[in-house]
Amino acid sequence: MLALLILVTVTLTSAHHPGEHFEGDKVFRVHVEDENHISLLHELASTRQMDFWKPDSLTQIKPHSTVDFRIKAEDAVAVEDFLGQNRLQYEVLISNLRSMLEAQFDSRVRATGHSYEKYNQWETIEAWTEQVASENPDLISRSAIGTTFLGNTIYLLKVGKPGSDKPAIFMDCGFHAREWISPAFCQWFVREAVRTYGRERHMTEFLDKLDFYVLPVVNIDGYIYTWTTNRMWRKTRSTKAGSTCIGTDLNRNFAAGWCRIGASTNPCDETYCGSAAESEKETKAVANFIRNHLSSIKAYLTIHSYSQMMLYPYSYDYKLPKNNVELNALAKAAVKELATLHGTSYTYGPGASTIYPAAGGSDDWAYDQGIQYSFTFELRDKGRYGFLLPESQIQPTCEETMLAIKYVTSYVLEHLY
């Protein structure tokens, strides 16, 4: 009986921490000064498997920037030697990925089911979408807007008091599977809406005057996979004829300068743009919903991590949007508001020049559909934990992000078009 109990415990733990194969993996940050440094990193990538955390791929590295990437344990010594011999300035952000994976689950909340202060598995989030809607029928309704490649239902929550012809704001989370703080924020937002409606005047006004369409997890298949199999998975789990490699980067799959820059045509790459724009069922579901509600959607907000940035179009080109001055001022004010709570500093600006060029993104696509206020948020942190932000940071991260989202919402309400 004892042996059986031990077996059960081990299985449960490994299901909770799909991290045993990350023992000894390291995350490096390299300071890139010039083209020579970039070509050295290209040389390194040709001999060692590098999982790029920021930027998303080798091709997006720019001079005078930093590059964060993960290296397998067995390559760590060779990589440190290479960086040292070539006089590349670097630091080790994470010295053992496995211990960092386990340290994520540091929440003092002892809830067994859903918790807003913990990372929740998909089945828990799915049950929560049903529960939060049934418990708050006057504020929330749940609908299915499509299914994923593996047949999971994509749920959307409409948050707001019923009314006719209300303007709306669309917000999605969980495009990239490993960015766990993102779905946590969408859940937090819904909780705050329900908790403060009728008590806090801004939220009350927002929900009376407009609707929020909240999509808690876009890339459900990938998210499930980060819980069961590989915590560092980014893409979807779709397969492509003629390739053994799996997954498409949903944020390269929209019809906005599709696959032109900062995206890959190789199915094995992390930034694979798909076989065509909207080739992925998840992309199609989001795009179809937005197209069908274009007359009411006044703002599009998409939540990612990490790097503490608030980005607006364009990312597929270095061109600036028509209302660049307005978007820049709005982003500046929103990040200033965000910083008032915990002093967290965000940078802001157009995607291509602020972070890196990347075609096929949902924010650019939404903007080109005529949605004038389109923003990507890159939440905490700046690389200390990267994608493995501890649960103890969920509350402060979500609280400060709420301030920025509420600022944008107020602005949009005052500038309806």
296, amino acid identity: S
Q: What is the pLDDT of residue 110?
A: 76
- H helical segments located in 154-278: 181-196, 201-209, 220-228
Cα separation of 382 and 103, whole Å?
A: 17
Cα separation of 109 and 118, whole Å?
A: 8
What pLDDT band is residue 73 in, cutting at 50, 70 and 90? very high
What pLDDT band is residue 18 in, cutting at 50, 70 and 90? low
Cα separation of 374 and 327, whole Å?
A: 9
pLDDT digits (tens, 9 = 90+) for 337-376: 999 999 999 999 999 999 889 999 999 999 999 999 999 9
Cα separation of 60 and 44, whole Å?
A: 15
Q: Are 153 and 281 in contact (CB under 8 A)?
A: no
Question: Tokens at residue 3, please?
Answer: 């042996």
Euclidean distance between the first and the last CA atom of the chain, given in angstroms as a whole number: 68
- The residues with which 67 forms a beta bridge, in sequence order, are 30
Region 175-181: what's the mean pLDDT?
98
Q: Does residue 324 sit in helix, strand or coil?
A: helix
Question: Tokens at residue 370, please?
Answer: 């005529």
pLDDT digits (tens, 9 = 90+) for 289-339: 999 999 999 999 999 999 999 999 999 999 999 999 999 999 999 999 999
For residue 12, pLDDT over 60 is answered with no
CA torsion, ordered 283, 287, 290, 295, to nearest 10 deg: 170
Q: How far is CA 116 from the centre of its chain?
A: 17
Mean pLDDT of the chain: 94
Give the long-range contacts of residues 106-115, CB within 8 A, separation 24 or more: 106/390, 106/391, 106/392, 107/391, 107/392, 107/394, 108/392, 109/391
The lowest-confidence range among 108-117, 164-173, 200-209, 270-279 is 108-117
Query: Catalytic site residues?
Result: 378
Q: Are 147 and 154 in contact (CB under 8 A)?
A: yes
DSSP 172: E
Q: Does residue 393 sit in helix, strand or coil?
A: helix
Q: Does residue 265 sit in helix, strand or coil?
A: coil
- 181-196 vs 122-135: helix crossing angle, rounded to 10: 10
Q: How many helices (H) and strands (E) does the chain have?
A: 13, 12
Q: Are 250 and 217 in contact (CB under 8 A)?
A: no
Question: Tokens at residue 291, please?
Answer: 């197209």
Residue the block writes with tokens 């990538």: 45
Q: Are 164 and 294 in contact (CB under 8 A)?
A: no
Q: What is the 3-state secondary structure (H, E, C) of 70-133?
A: EECHHHHHHHHHHHHHCCCCEEEEECCHHHHHHHCCCCCCCCCCCCCCCCCCHHHHHHHHHHHH
Of 140, 201, 181, whose CA–CA distance to 409 is shortest? 201
HSE-up (13 A, CA, CB side) for residue 212: 30
pTM: 0.93
CA distances from 92 to 45, 71, 345 (A): 17, 11, 22
- The residues with which 301 forms a beta bridge, in sequence order, are 171, 375
pLDDT digits (tens, 9 = 90+) for 27-63: 999 999 999 999 999 999 999 999 999 999 999 999 9
Of 285, 288, 279, whose CA–CA distance to 243 is shortest? 279
Share of the chain above pLDDT 90, in %: 91
Look at 148 and 9; give whichever has higher pLDDT. Answer: 148
Where does residue 260 rank: exposed (0-12), middle (13-18), buried (19+ CB within 10 A)?
middle
For residue 3, pLDDT over 60 is answered with no
Q: Is the peptide bond before 381 cis (omega within 30 degrees of 0)?
A: yes
Q: Are 99 and 107 in contact (CB under 8 A)?
A: no
